[in-house]
């Protein structure tokens, strides 16, 4: 596992923090219009180039929780999305957004309260978080979701993510799952999602981890 680097980019009104261990280089920040992020510049993030509103907008685009922001004037920072969603990325991780309570989430990654990309190929060296190991593997899943679940009576509220030892992610809370095609596919309040990469009913766990050699520790 690569050494974790936590870097603060200080501006007059905002401090943007980047956690290298969560970053999978989706480039939502680097491709955002404006001058906040410029990879050819040192420092490559300069909060003084943008308004607080624009800084927050770009930080919230990060799907992994690697980016977070604090404003020096006490302005409210990021708030949880009004709905908890999980997107099953084509060939990639589970991307979570909402009011997240991920078991064991490190204190030095406040973005994980709102956004996270969790491994579902089973190969990450930074479990439960994605580290792009799927990109150089034989893992193939296009993000189709067959089940519908049960109609939600309400949305939002805490989404608790429990990491079962050598097993799935257990979810508790209102949540909607979005298929890799972009279709709103499943909704409910409790389910278990595969993180070993072996289930034949992805993204849901089917017990395939039992009897396998897959282990949830790094």
User: Looking at the domain assignment, is residue 203 inside a domain?
Assistant: no
Q: Are residues 64 and 148 in the same domain?
A: no
Task: Indicate the average pLDDT of the chain.
Answer: 96
What pLDDT, on a 0 to 100 scale, did the predictor assign at position 91?
97
pLDDT at 37 over 80: yes
pLDDT at 65 over 70: yes
CB 91 within 8 A of CB 134: yes
What pLDDT, on a 0 to 100 scale, did the predictor assign at position 32?
97
User: Of all residues in the chain, what percent carry a pLDDT higher than 90?
Assistant: 94
What pLDDT, on a 0 to 100 scale, did the predictor assign at position 134?
97
Query: 218: pLDDT confidence band, cut at 50, 70 and 90?
Result: low
What pLDDT, on a 0 to 100 scale, did the predictor assign at position 122?
98
pLDDT at 1 over 70: no
Q: Are strands 169-178 and 184-193 parallel, antiparallel or unpaired?
A: antiparallel
User: Looking at the domain assignment, is residue 218 inside a domain?
Assistant: no
Query: 3-state secondary structure string, 6-20?
Result: EEEEECCCEEEEEEC
What pLDDT, on a 0 to 100 scale, did the predictor assign at position 2?
67
> Residue 56: which CATH number?
3.30.70.20
CA distance 88 to 180: 5
Q: In this structure, is the dihedral angle defined by the CA atoms of residues 212, 138, 206 and 87, taken in order, positive or negative?
A: positive
Range of the domain at 42: 6-71
Q: Indicate whether this model's pTM tops 0.75.
A: yes
Q: Are residues 148 and 110 in the same domain?
A: yes
Q: Which tens digits make up the pLDDT trace of 96-120?
A: 999 999 999 999 999 999 999 999 9
Q: Are residues 90 and 188 in the same domain?
A: yes
What's the number of domains the chain is made of? 2
Residues 6+ apart with CB under 8 A from 14: 47, 52, 55, 69, 70, 71, 72
Mean pLDDT of 21-46: 96
Domain boundary, last residue among 49, 71, 93: 71
């Amino acid at each position: 596992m690569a050494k974790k680097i936590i870097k603060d980019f200080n501006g007059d009104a905002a401090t943007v923090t980047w956690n290298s261990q969560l970053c999978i280089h989706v480039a939502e920040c680097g491709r955002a219009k404006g001058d906040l992020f410029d990879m050819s510049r040192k420092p490559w993030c300069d909060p003084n180039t943008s308004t607080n509103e624009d800084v927050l907008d770009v930080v919230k685009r990060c799907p992994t929780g690697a980016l977070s922001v604090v404003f020096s004037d006490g302005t409210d920072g990021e708030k949880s999305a009004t709905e908890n969603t999980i997107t099953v990325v084509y060939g990639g991780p589970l991307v979570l957004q909402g009011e997240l309570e991920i078991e064991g989430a490190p204190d030095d990654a406040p973005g994980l309260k709102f956004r996270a990309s969790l491994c579902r190929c089973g190969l990450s060296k930074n479990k439960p978080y994605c580290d792009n190991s799927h990109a150089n593997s034989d893992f193939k899943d296009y993000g189709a979701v067959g089940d519908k679940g049960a109609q939600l009576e309400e949305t939002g509220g805490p989404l608790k993510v429990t990491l079962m030892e050598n097993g799935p992610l257990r979810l508790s809370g209102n949540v909607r799952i979005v298929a890799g095609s972009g279709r709103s596919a499943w909704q409910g309040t409790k389910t278990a999602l595969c993180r070993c990469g072996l289930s034949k009913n992805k993204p849901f766990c089917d017990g395939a981890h039992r009897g396998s050699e897959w282990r949830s520790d790094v």
